[in-house]
């Protein structure tokens, strides 16, 4: 095989003895510490759809002569079924990556993942000018590299590929912002995941500058350093296609007043574990899924006419929200609050709510309070947690299970 093909397939070359393991069920092949001697072991991976390389040092191969490919090799690359390649625990000289990446244009690899890799030096990406790659999804996790700022010129050779990329993830990598021009290059990007980084309120505005990520539909900013709900709103209001936004695990505060409007396209909003003690406004008006679990909410009384799923577990609610505020709601999670009764005994409402999870609340198991629980439990809407997760408020003697204290709870469980 051509040296270039070996490099392409065996970027994880290292002195230490290593070899590949193929899991046929998963069609996943993992190669550890592949060396020049054991590189033949890759042959068994040719039937895999996912190929993973773990461990190695690539800097020894920086000076390798990499020639152009001959037609049989190109045919061979084109016939491979490999769709995803993962590089893990590697030192990757950027210059080598730049020279090898163009060979991917002969393959059908759609996903490239770099996990716990360190990129070294600055590559010369000129050879990639005008090249199209089949890769649609690029994921970096826990990587370090030279900063991107000021390297727009270097990377411009990649632009005809980056313009077609659909999914990009840069997670757990201390990212604090992206240069404005970077976002403008990703013209077709639909999903951007920058969870577990150091993005603060100041870093957001330049990252999502005018014209950046014009097609973006899914954005995860989970577990960053964001603090201003309205600041985030102002930074993201130029994303005209945004449908799914995850702000969970940031510590958000409200500005006293703001007229900022979220993109009208927003349908799914994740505000889980953001330290909120009240529902902040405005909320995107056409929301279909809202997750505000794991906060300190005491009441929820907003109305959202398109909302289908509302997640409010792990809050301090003393009452369930009024279902009339959510005419098309089908899923409601209320576990681990301070709710004493579920007040909806109207058959119509029960028919609408197909999934309710409300375990871990201190229910009043009087006859009246138990009626809604019993009705929901009877329809199967309460799912797996019913009845064992539905406990009564501790009484003088001891806590009881709604489902077991039949005499006190009237008929919470259906009698056998």
Ligand X SMILES: *[C@@H]1O[C@H](CO)[C@@H](O)[C@H](O)[C@H]1NC(C)=O
DSSP string for residues in 291-317: E--SS--S------TT--EEE--SS--
Greatest CA separation for the chain: 84
Query: Pattern 322-351, binding to ligand X, x per CB under 6 A?
Result: -------------xx---x-----------
Spatial CA neighbour of 277 closest among 292, 257, 256, 261: 292
200 binds ligand X (CB under 6 A): yes
Query: Pattern 107-146, binding to ligand X, x per CB under 6 A?
Result: ---------x-x-----------------------x----
360 binds ligand X (CB under 6 A): yes
Using CB under 6 A, pick the residue from 60, 354, 393, 406 that binds ligand X.
Answer: 393
Stretch that binds ligand X, among 5-13, 229-237, 366-374, 402-410 (CB under 6 A): 366-374
15 or 278: CB nearest ligand X: 15
164 binds ligand X (CB under 6 A): no
142 or 164: CB nearest ligand X: 142
Distance of closest approach, residue 289 Cβ to ligand X, in angstroms: 6
* Cα–Cα distance for residue pair 340/415, rounded to 1 Å: 23
191 binds ligand X (CB under 6 A): no
Stretch that binds ligand X, among 17-25, 58-66, 277-285, 398-406 (CB under 6 A): 17-25
Distance of closest approach, residue 111 Cβ to ligand X, in angstroms: 19
Token reading at 222: 């989970």
**Size of the chain, expressed as the number of residues it contains:** 416
Sign of CA dihedral 250, 255, 260, 265: positive
* Cα–Cα distance for residue pair 100/95, rounded to 1 Å: 9
DSSP string for residues in 311-379: E--SS--SSPPPGGG-TT--EEE--SS---------HHHHHH--EEE--S--B--SHHHHHHHHHHHHH
145 or 182: CB nearest ligand X: 145
248 binds ligand X (CB under 6 A): yes
388 binds ligand X (CB under 6 A): no
Query: Pattern 252-281, binding to ligand X, x per CB under 6 A?
Result: ------------------x-xx--------
The CA–CA distances, whole Å, from 262 to 185, 309, 383 equal 24, 19, 34
């Amino acid at each position: 095989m051509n040296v270039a093909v070996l490099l392409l397939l065996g970027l994880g070359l290292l002195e230490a003895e290593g070899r590949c393991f193929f899991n046929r069920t998963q069609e996943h092949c993992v190669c550890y510490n592949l060396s020049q001697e054991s590189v033949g072991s890759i042959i068994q991976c040719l039937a895999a759809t996912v190929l993973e390389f773990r461990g190695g040092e690539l800097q020894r191969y920086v000076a390798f002569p990499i020639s152009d490919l001959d037609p049989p090799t190109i045919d061979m690359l084109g016939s491979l079924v490999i769709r995803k390649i993962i590089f893990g625990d590697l030192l990757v000289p950027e210059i080598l990556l730049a020279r090898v990446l163009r060979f991917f244009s002969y393959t059908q690899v759609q996903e490239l993942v770099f996990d716990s890799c360190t990129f070294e030096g600055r590559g010369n990406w000129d050879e990639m000018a005008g090249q199209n790659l089949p890769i649609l999804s690029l994921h970096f996790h826990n990587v370090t590299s030279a900063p991107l700022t000021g390297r727009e010129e270097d990377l411009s050779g990649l632009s005809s590929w980056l313009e077609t990329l659909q999914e990009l993830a840069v997670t757990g990598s201390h990212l604090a912002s992206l240069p404005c021009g970077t976002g403008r290059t990703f013209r077709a990007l639909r999903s951007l995941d920058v969870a577990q980084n150091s993005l603060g309120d100041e870093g957001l505005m330049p990252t999502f500058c005018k014209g950046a990520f014009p097609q973006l539909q899914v954005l995860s900013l989970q577990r960053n350093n964001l603090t201003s709900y309205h600041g985030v709103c102002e930074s993201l209001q130029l994303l005209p296609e945004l449908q799914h936004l995850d702000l969970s695990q940031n510590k958000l505060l409200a500005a006293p007043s703001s007229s900022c409007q979220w993109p009208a396209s927003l349908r799914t909003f994740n505000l889980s574990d953001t330290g909120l003690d009240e529902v902040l406004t405005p909320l995107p008006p056409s929301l279909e899924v809202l997750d505000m679990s794991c906060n300190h909410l005491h009441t929820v009384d907003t109305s959202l006419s398109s909302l289908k799923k509302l997640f409010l577990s792990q809050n301090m609610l003393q009452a369930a929200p009024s279902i009339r505020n959510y005419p098309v709601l089908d899923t409601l999670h209320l576990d681990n609050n301070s709710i004493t009764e579920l007040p909806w005994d109207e058959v119509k409402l029960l028919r609408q709510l197909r999934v309710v999870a409300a375990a871990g609340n201190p229910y009043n198991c009087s006859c009246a309070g138990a009626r809604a629980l019993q009705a929901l439990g009877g329809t199967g809407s309460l799912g797996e947690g019913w009845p064992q997760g539905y406990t009564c408020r501790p009484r003088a003697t001891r806590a009881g299970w709604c489902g077991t204290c039949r005499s006190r709870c009237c008929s919470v469980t259906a009698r056998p």
